[in-house]
Amino acid sequence: MNRNKFIKSIGLATVGTSLIPFLSFSTNTEYSREQLIGKDNAAIVGSSYTSKMHRDTKTAFEKMRLAAAEEGIAIEVVSAFRSFQR
């Protein structure tokens, strides 16, 4: 490999590698500080430790549970929500 081809290859690899974080984190959801520290419970549904979870998680779990049931597999939640209050 000659010097010019090597420099072009390294340059392209560097640019490509530096773009990976921007591509992978471009779909991130913004979360408030309150959500991140567990003090915003507006999206939490359910009443017990096995049913209390984020509403999107509950929807996804129900779909997964139904798909598993069609395959003859019974799944259940053991612990869904951990509160910061003790």
Could you give the maximum distance between any two Cα atoms of the chain, in Å?
Answer: 68
Q: What is the pLDDT of residues 29-80, one digit of tens each?
A: 777 788 777 777 777 787 776 777 888 888 999 999 999 999 999 998 887 7
Confidence at 12, pLDDT banded by 50, 70, 90: confident
In which element (H, E) is residue 45 found?
strand 44-45
Residue bearing the bigger pLDDT, 69 or 85:
69
Statement: the pTM of the whole predicted model exceeds 0.85: no
Beta bridge partners of 54: 44
Can you say how many angstroms the Cα of residue 35 is from the centroid of all Cα atoms in its chain? 14
